[in-house]
Structure 1
Amino acid sequence: MIWFDLDNSPHVHICQPLIKELERRGYTVWITAREYAQTLELLDFYGLTYEVIGKHAGKNAIKKIVGLGKRALELRAWAKKTRPALAVSHGSRAMVCASKTLRIPIVTLYDYEYTERKIFDLLSTRVLVPKCVAEVLGKPSFHGKLFGYPGFKEELYLASFVPDEDFRRKLGVREEEILVTLRPAATLANYHDARSEQLLRAFLKRIAGVPQATVVLLSRTKSQGEDLQRQFTALQPQARLLIPASAIDGLNLIWHSDLVISGGGTMNREAALLGVPVYSIFTGTLGAVDAELIRMGRLRTLRTVDEVARVKVERSTKEKARFAANSRLASLLVDEILKVKKA
């Protein structure tokens, strides 16, 4: 049995193709998940069976450490009972800690080299990262455990994406309206920089003055959404702001958007690879993946309020230059995962 632990919303999209490929090859996969953001809703959306273990501990550093230890112990108890042959995650520190104490081989994926990654690098049996990240990290220091895969992790699911041409109507947005997708930064993340919140407020002020715009806000938590809704309504009571009550088809939302503004790495990359105009308001240290997308001309960054004011908010009529996603990436990564199991 192969064990996946999913502790954040994007990990569901990323791991689902890997789980599907493993099951296609005849392997049994068990999933544990943390109650945080839209993780559980997305698991339900994909029809995946899972067991909920733990929840996010909040922003406070001490509470995070205590929460990590608590969830690691809970996962350890679960794994001791179920005895998986291999543990896989996209950056679950609790899983890595739990698995190491039980001598379960660990495969960890991540794609941002400036996250707190010591636990991953030291305790994992195998570390899978995009090739551009591997080049920055340097393979010698990993003693053979680092594998750099070609392209971007988002290709795992973008390769099979087929746009729903009726999506705008289902969303209640007219064809002539400017559809803007807004994703706040991960304020609870260990790498969060408060400057991104200043840029977000500046953009809310900017978009509130565009009467033909509809904003879809993909907040990370209920409280974050309520707070931003209050701010937006105070700026322009008549402005149109939609906050989905449940998990939404994010790829179709991006595809049909005229503009994406996001403090989240995954959504920025999805939009960039789909060829949708996208600006990052992430103000932390620029990672190798985003640097590559900027070099390709697919992603732009906003660092100051003055730059926000110059963003064009208009109906996009250009044909999208969609990136040719690698449909074989899931198979390639599963091959690497199974090398650890066989070893």
Structure 2
Amino acid sequence: MSRATFAASEDEPSETTRSVAQTVEAWVDLASPSHPFFFKALTDSFSNVEPTVTVREKTETVPLARQVGYDFRTVGKDYENPHLRKVGIPLRTAQLALEAPDADVALSSRNAMCILAAKVRGIPSIHFTDNDICAYVDGLAAEELYHRLEAQATHNVVPTAFRTEVLTDRGADPDSIHTYDGYKEDVYVAAFEPDPSFLDTIPFESQDFIVVRPEALSATYVDAEGSLVPDILAGAVERGVNVVYLPREGTDRAFADGLPPERVYVPDEPLSGLELAWHARCVLTGSGTMAREASRMQTPAVSFFPSTLISVDRALIEEGEIFHSRNAEDVLDYVESITDHDAQPDLTRARRVRREVADLTADLMNETLD
């Protein structure tokens, strides 16, 4: 699903927070759809970092890299077939090792391919992650190895909510681990500029609506017998709540069958997730990213993720930033409890976190230049 175009706020010149000691040639490798937004927001925070970008073909990663304005080369691809995927990762790692640009530092997120290729080329690496759970299905030895290789980055940058012992257990040097007070979604949410005309694309007479995104039931990290979405959609209709429903897969669309289209809107084209989060009364998702994005702009958020939660999600739930339940009635009761004041988004906190992450990254780049 596509997300919003963003730019640094014109009334916040401090968004360019730091200059590195000298001009830095940074190799940025984008391997997943969330990466273009994160790294564009980060690299735009510096006045003298010149990024050279490589992108893996994986779902929408290439078009999103283009959308944010990066010039890039496409190197390698992801495969839907799990057997081909095992071949695709080492193949792309070898391609990167051969084709990586000359750089002072490599920047990546949850990306062992870039870290290994950087090691081969003698390039220090700064790696950003927030996922401290390796696998949810027994026997995923390849995934465990992948995460162990991620931990070998020169520097690992993680939220304070992240369990750092996970990285040290995977072989990371404790001195290579650096924390910041926030979440990775803060970095790119902080650079978001809402489009006031976006609501013209939502066909409800009332501008009040919630967003519902189903669980990724086909993913290896999800352990659930069925989706909560049919009960949430049916209950929302019964309570007179407008829903923008965002199916993940073709089979998910059937959850809206038979429901009144004037109440449940299923877009034919991808809509901006950040625009939806900014304008919605609440964002409900069976996964983590959209809930975290909404919570970082202080929009009420619900997770009905069915498996073990990563530590950043648990922290946000404990802080009251995300409501979590696998009971549809409890979820809908929470939605109905939201006040107009609760539903007012704000980016002040996210901008503070973005500045902190930029400062930390600048310090680490300075260290690699010494």
Question: Could you tell me the TM-score, scaled by structure 1's length?
Answer: 0.83
Letter in 2 for 1:16: K
Do 2:214 and 2:227's aligned partners in 1 also have CA atoms closer than 8 Å?
no
Secondary structure, counterpart of 2:209 in structure 1: strand
The corresponding residue for 1:2 is: 26
The corresponding residue for 2:4 is: none
Whole-angstrom distance in 1 between the partners of 2:306 and 2:363: 33
Structure with bigger helix share is 1
The corresponding residue for 1:228 is: 252
Task: Please state if 1:20 is matched with 2:20.
Answer: no
Whole-angstrom distance in 1 between the partners of 2:313 and 2:234: 26
- Using the TM superposition, give the Cα deviation of residue 118 of structure 1 relative to its aligned residue in structure 2, in angstroms: 1.3
Task: Please state if 1:180 is matched with 2:210.
Answer: yes
Task: Please state if 1:302 is matched with 2:325.
Answer: yes
The corresponding residue for 2:314 is: 291
Please show how residues 135-146 of structure 1 align to structure 2 within 5 Å. 137=166, 142-143=172-173, 144-146=175-177
The corresponding residue for 2:64 is: 42
* 1:29-68 deviation line (CA, Å, top 9, x unaligned): 11111222332232222111112222221263x3332221
Whole-angstrom distance in 2 between the partners of 1:59 and 1:189: 12
| Gaps in structure 1 of 5+ consecutive residues | none
| Gaps in structure 2 of 5+ consecutive residues | 1-24, 135-143
The corresponding residue for 2:153 is: 124
The corresponding residue for 2:198 is: 167
Do 1:32 and 1:53's aligned partners in 2 also have CA atoms closer than 8 Å?
yes
Secondary structure, counterpart of 1:324 in structure 2: helix
Whole-angstrom distance in 2 between the partners of 1:29 and 1:109: 16
- Using the TM superposition, give the Cα deviation of residue 300 of structure 1 relative to its aligned residue in structure 2, in angstroms: 0.9
* 1:182-205 deviation line (CA, Å, top 9, x unaligned): 23344565523335x522343344
Whole-angstrom distance in 2 between the partners of 1:186 and 1:32: 27
Letter in 2 for 1:100: K
Task: Please state if 1:324 is matched with 2:343.
Answer: no
The corresponding residue for 2:180 is: 149
Letter in 2 for 1:180: I
- Using the TM superposition, give the Cα deviation of residue 146 of structure 1 relative to its aligned residue in structure 2, in angstroms: 0.5
* 1:189-227 deviation line (CA, Å, top 9, x unaligned): 5523335x52234334434545652314163xxxx1x32
The corresponding residue for 1:111 is: 130
Secondary structure, counterpart of 2:244 in structure 1: strand
The corresponding residue for 1:277 is: 300
The corresponding residue for 2:115 is: 96
Please show how residues 234-249 of structure 1 align to structure 2 within 5 Å. 234=258, 240-243=264-267, 245-246=269-270, 248-249=271-272
* 1:116-153 deviation line (CA, Å, top 9, x unaligned): 521211x2111000112155648696321111112122
Whole-angstrom distance in 1 between the partners of 2:267 and 2:326: 26
Letter in 1 for 2:320: G
- Using the TM superposition, give the Cα deviation of residue 338 of structure 1 relative to its aligned residue in structure 2, in angstroms: 0.4
- Using the TM superposition, give the Cα deviation of residue 257 of structure 1 relative to its aligned residue in structure 2, in angstroms: 0.7
* 1:89-130 deviation line (CA, Å, top 9, x unaligned): 111122223223333222211012113521211x21110001
The corresponding residue for 1:74 is: 95
Which of 67-76 and 144-153 deviates more?
67-76
Whole-angstrom distance in 1 between the partners of 2:337 and 2:307: 28
Letter in 2 for 1:273: R
Change (3 A) 1:186 1:106: farther
Kindly, what percent of the aligned residue pairs are identical? 25
Question: Could you tell me the TM-score, scaled by structure 2's length?
Answer: 0.77
- Using the TM superposition, give the Cα deviation of residue 154 of structure 1 relative to its aligned residue in structure 2, in angstroms: 1.9
Whole-angstrom distance in 1 between the partners of 2:88 and 2:218: 13
Which of 139-148 and 44-53 deviates more?
139-148
Change (3 A) 1:137 1:148: farther
* 1:217-252 deviation line (CA, Å, top 9, x unaligned): 163xxxx1x322233225557653333524x43222
Letter in 2 for 1:71: R
Secondary structure, counterpart of 2:254 in structure 1: helix
Change (3 A) 1:56 1:283: same
- Using the TM superposition, give the Cα deviation of residue 313 of structure 1 relative to its aligned residue in structure 2, in angstroms: 5.5
The corresponding residue for 1:200 is: 229
Secondary structure, counterpart of 1:14 in structure 2: helix
Change (3 A) 1:212 1:129: closer
Q: Alignment length, in residue pairs?
A: 329
Whole-angstrom distance in 1 between the partners of 2:254 and 2:357: 42
Do 2:247 and 2:253's aligned partners in 1 also have CA atoms closer than 8 Å?
no
